[in-house]
Amino acid sequence: MRNQSLAVSLALFVAIPGVLPGQFPPEKVTNLKVFPAAMPVRALIDTMAGFTRALGVRCPYCHVGQEGQPLSTFDFASDEKPTKEKARQMLRMVADINGDHLAKLADRRDPPITVTCMTCHRGVSEPRPLQQIVLAAYDRGGADSAEATYRALRQRYHGRSAYDFGETSLAGVGAELRRRDKLADAVRFHRLNIEMLPSSGFAHRQAAEAELATGDTAAARATLQRALTIDSTDAQARRALEAIRPK
């Protein structure tokens, strides 16, 4: 188990020549192209562990080797996988942001805010916003595919920091579909937002606007009434409801 745990930690940029199973931590590492050549082994291993958590990945994500096999079978020195060079470029970018761009800001907070891998990735290898992922699924396979994608991600990641499952992500999907004149699908995703967040007055108000765009005044009126039941101080919902009340 100890070897397996260390396998997770030794993730990026490190070559371990001639290391036999059980020889962990290694005495030295090579092929460091971003970190200092004299970086202590323990510090490097701890840094690698942070990367695996930030990206939600394991050693084979960047290195040539098979998950679950002894580390002696991995070719850590190989630069064959594109993800390894991408990771190096990302580290250089982070260093530039922190050491150059942010360092030039006046009146920085104390302690200063810095960028890390976790800032963007939050436990996933591709740090795409939830709205973008759902819309990409819509473009590939339509509304059913997009909803299935959202539900699968919510089941797996809800309660974690990877994606924003608050009221604005699906509202953004609905707004984009409405902009494309996909009104029925827009209503579908606004109503999905209500299903996921039934106590959100904002989700109800957004759904009512989409319903009204389809010409379904009765549905919009009922949804706005629910929005005001949730939040009686919602002035936008009240004005919208007054505008469509029967004369």
CATH code: domain of residue 232:
1.25.40.10
- Of 26-30, 37-41, 91-95, 232-236, the one with minimum mean pLDDT is 26-30
**Position 17 confidence tier, pLDDT thresholds 50, 70, 90:** very low
CA dist 40 and 132 (Å) reads 40
% pLDDT > 70, the chain = 89
Tell me the average pLDDT across 210-220.
Answer: 97
Per-residue pLDDT at 13: 38
Based on the fold, state whether residues 92 and 142 are members of the same structural domain.
no
* Overall domain count for the chain: 2
pLDDT of residue 23: 54
Q: Which of 31-35, 118-122, 144-148, 178-182 has the least mean pLDDT?
A: 31-35
pLDDT for the residue 65: 86
Please give the average per-residue pLDDT across 188-201, as a whole number: 98
Same domain, 109 and 52: yes
pLDDT score for 24: 57
Burial 110-123 (b: 16+ CB within 10 A, else e): eeeeeeebeeebbb
What is the structure's pLDDT at 227?
98
147 and 60 belong to one structural domain: no
Q: Are residues 149 and 227 in the same domain?
A: yes
Question: Residue 20: pLDDT above 70?
Answer: no
Name which residue leads in pLDDT, 195 or 41. 195
Q: Which two tokens stand for residue 227?
A: 């929005």
Residue 2 has pLDDT above 90, yes or no: no
Domain that holds residue 166: 130-244
Return the percentage of the chain with pLDDT > 90, whole number: 69
Same domain? For 117 and 139 the reply is: no
**Closest to 91 in 3D by CA, of 47, 41, 127:** 47
The CATH number covering residue 54 comes to 1.10.468
CB 30 within 8 A of CB 17: yes
Closest by Cα among 91, 11, 57 to 162: 57
11 & 117 share domain:
yes
Q: Is the pLDDT of residue 193 over 60?
A: yes
**Residues 212, 236: one domain?**
yes
Q: Model pTM?
A: 0.83
Mean per-residue pLDDT, 173-183? 98
